[in-house]
Amino acid sequence: MKKPFENNKINSVKRAAMIIFVAVFAFWGLSSLILPSFIKHKINEGNFGNYQFEIEKVRVNLPGSRIVLDSFHAKSNIDGMDVLVPKLKITGVKIIRLLLKRSFVANAVYLHSPQVLLEHGNYSANGVRPYTSKQASAEFFVGNFVITNGNFEFINTNDTSRFSRIEIEFINLSLNRDEQYVFKNFSFDHLSGNIEEWSVPLSNNLYTVVGCELEFGTSKNIQIGQLHLSTNYPKYEVGHKTGVETDWFDFDLQDIKISGFEMQKLLENRGFIANNVSLGKVKGFAFRDKRLPRGNKPDTKLPMQALDELKLPLQIDSLSFENAYIKYEEHAVGADEAGTVFFSGLSAKAYQISNIRKLILLPTTISVSGKLMGKAHMDAYFVIPNKKYPGEYEVKGKLEPTAFGIINPIVNENLAADIKSGYIHELNFDFHYNNDLSEGALTIQYSDLKIDLLNRRNDSAKPVQSVFFNGLILKKDNLKNKKVYREGTIHFSRDKKKSLFNYWWKSLYSGIKSVAVPKPLL
């Protein structure tokens, strides 16, 4: 027979065990049944600013301060934003503060494979006011906010922009606090991100920019693996699609590096500001069919005007690329094929690309060098007026000695002529231009120039006209050691509907023609 105190001891142990069991069962019930249902109800019935939330399932680990939301859906009734997250994981969350004070404080939030849809113009007419900081007075702070494998779509009236496989991490993301970087009501100490692929349509879906491997953040450096600008139609179809002369492009830029990027200025909409932009590889093709109607095309803007009219303030201290290839084709009226001009081994360095007056330190300049038609080395230097240093545009440069015939691919089709012989010993040019006129000087020494005029119907030479032209009009030689040497005069009235490249080329052509064909014929 057990003694009374032994029975009391056993009963105390049983009671303690029962209390622990009940507490554990109650804790399990609270965290596994009651609390998830309560949180789901609160989320589904509540809203945050202009957003309404809906979730399918809530899992709570109370000891671990962890919440997992399955099929989380957030939709704005103001800006057309629609977000679906298959799995949203929250760790280190202050659950009691979340329930009692509507204060969201957590160590980390992970959004796995979110799908974000933003439909332009999809605004509610129910009178709901836009989101303001007063509507979100509750505390919000996340130490580590991570998005993995995200996708974003922006649907416009006629097209859709897509950004795929997005990875983003915020450090110390908060609302209505004063962290290092601020965007509207949100602030954060650090941001890093990567977008694997994206595509953005332009000009009513006429062109598309496709990119890959964009790395960005608050580290002041941005890298882009590739940018590809292309026309969505073959080059001879794009003009027929629009009914008028239309530029066809296919430009590929690779290994783009941006340094000295100021993230906070961009967040405040104060502009895109960077120290340097370098392009590792550039390859570009352009084409225009001149046989089509010109249409009601607006005037082509000169560089300073185009910069000033940008909606986003811009400051790039320097931009450079090396070993680029650029080709331009133009199909003239009456020509069987397109005329061609191209540059290989092209290198360029530009300084002070800016429309922010207080940041401009020097005049805007561009130095370019490369091989014309892949054969003759050419150097050019451009001075472009800016807000701090206004004035006229200036172009100067030189071409190394070469055969005159290297420009036949453009002369044959566009001028109905064929250069049979001739050698350029020296070519230097220096001219100024404005929105209306270019004027300057050109020095060209050449010898043994002979040109056949062509029949447009079959590209055969016109023998009588060619003999007359070469014998009586064309200046065969122009050398400084000869008495009949002539300096060239650049004088060209701009066609404002045509490209800037056309303006430069026609200015140079006017100088060459003033020497080689002093009597107007070509």
> Measured between alpha carbons, how far is residue 238 from residues 156, 241, 291, 298, 328 in Å?
22, 5, 13, 18, 16
Per-residue pLDDT, 519 = 64
Do 308 and 174 fall into the same domain? no
Give residue-wise pLDDT tens across range 314-367: 999 999 999 999 999 999 888 888 999 999 999 999 999 999 999 999 999 999
Per-residue pLDDT, 119 = 80
Do 303 and 190 fall into the same domain? no
- Would 180 be classed as within a structural domain? yes
pLDDT at 234 over 90: yes
- Would 30 be classed as within a structural domain? no
pLDDT at 133 over 50: no
**How many structural domains are present in the chain?**
2
- Would 239 be classed as within a structural domain? no
Least-confidence region, from 9-18, 237-246, 420-429: 9-18
**Cα angle value 504/456/510 (rounded, 5°):** 20
pLDDT at 227 over 70: yes
Give residue-wise pLDDT tens across range 498-518: 889 889 999 999 999 999 987
Run of H or E including 23: helix 4-29
Do 308 and 201 fall into the same domain? no
Residue 27: what residue type? F
Do 329 and 430 fall into the same domain? yes
Do 309 and 161 fall into the same domain? no
- Would 106 be classed as within a structural domain? yes
Q: Which residue did the predictor score with more confidence, 166 or 130?
A: 166
Average pLDDT over every residue of 275-282 = 95
Run of H or E including 42: helix 35-45
Do 53 and 161 fall into the same domain? yes
Residue with tokens 């993301």: 173
- Would 469 be classed as within a structural domain? yes
Per-residue pLDDT, 437 = 96
Per-residue pLDDT, 131 = 40
- Would 83 be classed as within a structural domain? yes
165, 187, 205: which is the final residue of a domain?
Answer: 205
167, 188, 205: which is the final residue of a domain?
Answer: 205
Q: Which residue did the predictor score with more confidence, 161 or 125?
A: 161
Residue 192: what residue type? S
Do 201 and 304 fall into the same domain? no
Q: Which residue did the predictor score with more confidence, 102 or 110?
A: 110
The span from the CA of 363 to the CA of 384, in Å, is 7
The span from the CA of 260 to the CA of 218, in Å, is 10
The span from the CA of 517 to the CA of 337, in Å, is 26
189, 205, 221: which is the final residue of a domain?
Answer: 205
- Would 6 be classed as within a structural domain? no
DSSP 170-186: EEEEEESS--SEEETTE
pLDDT at 368 over 70: yes
Give the pairing type, strands 376-384 and 221-231: unpaired
The span from the CA of 385 to the CA of 362, in Å, is 10
* Averaged confidence pLDDT in the chain: 85
pLDDT at 86 over 80: yes
Domain that holds residue 348: 298-521
Do 192 and 323 fall into the same domain? no
**pTM, entire model:** 0.84
* Burial (CB count within 10 angstroms: exposed 0-12, middle 13-18, buried 19+), residue 507: buried
**Spatial CA neighbour of 168 closest among 204, 132, 194:** 194
Per-residue pLDDT, 134 = 41
Per-residue pLDDT, 15 = 58
Instruction: Indicate the SS3 state at residue 466.
Output: helix
Taken in order 8, 10, 16, 18, the sign of the CA dihedral is negative
Per-residue pLDDT, 101 = 66
pLDDT at 31 over 70: no
DSSP 494-520: --TTS-HHHHHHHHHHHHHHHHH--SS
**Spatial CA neighbour of 115 closest among 155, 82, 158, 143:** 82
- Would 413 be classed as within a structural domain? yes
Give buried/exposed letters for 272-303 (b at 16+ CB in 10 A, else e). Answer: bbbeebebeebebbbbbbbebeeeeeeebebb
505 contact partners, CB below 8 Å, separation of at least 6: none
pLDDT at 48 over 70: no
The span from the CA of 470 to the CA of 516, in Å, is 10
The span from the CA of 185 to the CA of 175, in Å, is 6
The span from the CA of 435 to the CA of 365, in Å, is 18
Per-residue pLDDT, 123 = 43
> Measured between alpha carbons, how far is residue 83 from residues 45, 86, 122, 147 in Å?
17, 10, 14, 12
